[in-house]
Homo-oligomer: A and B are copies of this chain.
Amino acid sequence: MKLESLKVALIQQSCEEDKNKNIKKTCELIKEAAISGAKLVALQELHTSLYFCQNEIIQNFDLADEIPNNTTNIFCNIAKELKIVLIISLFEKRTKGLYHNTALVIDSDGSIAGKYRKMHIPDDPAFYEKFYFTEGDLGFKPIKTSIGNLGVLVCWDQWFPEAARLMTLNNADILIYPTAIGWDPSDNDKEKERQKEAWITIQRSHAIANALPVLSINRVGFEGDIDFWGHSFACGCQGQIIKMADSKKEEILIADLDMTETEKIRRIWPFLRDRRIDNYKDLTKRFID
């Protein structure tokens, strides 16, 4: 599928405890996005709940969804109704005692096009994800849809150039990062700014290194010890910002992607031609002592 351009919508929202209320609000925002003409709508990480990983609580495993279930059906139905490709994010229950942080891609006919299980799992104070999520075992494979190959990665993956590169080598057309990242309120303003800038910069760098558009979708709102910093954005193949949201507001960020850019930019910046693959094998090492 070769598109010349693609209108996308990134839905940046806050969440509350009630799952049904979250889903209801999200569905209203998805409808608005579709009315604006978006053909691809992407949601933030774990959008049906609060960011529950701030504490290690056994009962939180009740929040997990099997695929398919009522939750996924709601989103499949709305994708079909609106004829959009939709990226949702779930706490996936794979079997008893085995859970993943999973992005699901639903095609415009309502079918599940594929899933991506978060490969890099963080674990830091207030982000206790290694307790909840087993690291993904599906690799870095773009998901084929009617609008192209979607290189969906999730949050912590965004700090790893390897993930973006592998999606590229597997022929992704776009890189997409559903995210839940925020500030620790006890940090000073300079540190907060450095962190947010670093987060934007590294994702723009994946666009540049691979000549692919990048979409990043983050939540807003204060939950427990985290002030989620929003700043969802779309950038083009040279890392240039197309649209960016602010740090506080719920927003449907609409952006037009020029899907002819990758071909053009890779001709002037032919990085894929020049990779020294004969010298990269140590990338599979932890460290070289």
Among residues 244 to 289 in chain A, which have CB atoms less than 8 Å away from a CB atom of chain B?
Answer: 268-272, 274-277, 279-288
| Nearest CB in chain B: distance from A171 CB, A | 7
CB pair A287–B272 under 8 Å, yes or no, is: yes
Does B275 lie within 8 Å of A286, measured CB to CB? yes
Name the CB-closest residue of B to A187. Answer: B268
The interface residues of chain B lying within 8 Å CB-to-CB of A7 are none
Q: Classify chain A's interface size.
A: 35 or more
Chain B residues closer than 8 Å to A108, beta-carbon distance: none
Binds B, one of A58-66, A82-90, A115-123: A115-123
Cα(A240)–Cα(B159), bound, Å: 16
CA distance A165 to B170 in the complex (A): 21
Q: Please determine whether A277 and B286 come into contact, CB atoms closer than 8 angstroms.
A: yes
Contacts A/B (CB < 8 Å), 14 sampled: A120-B274, A120-B276, A140-B282, A160-B275, A160-B276, A161-B165, A169-B287, A194-B240, A197-B240, A201-B201, A201-B205, A202-B208, A272-B287, A277-B285
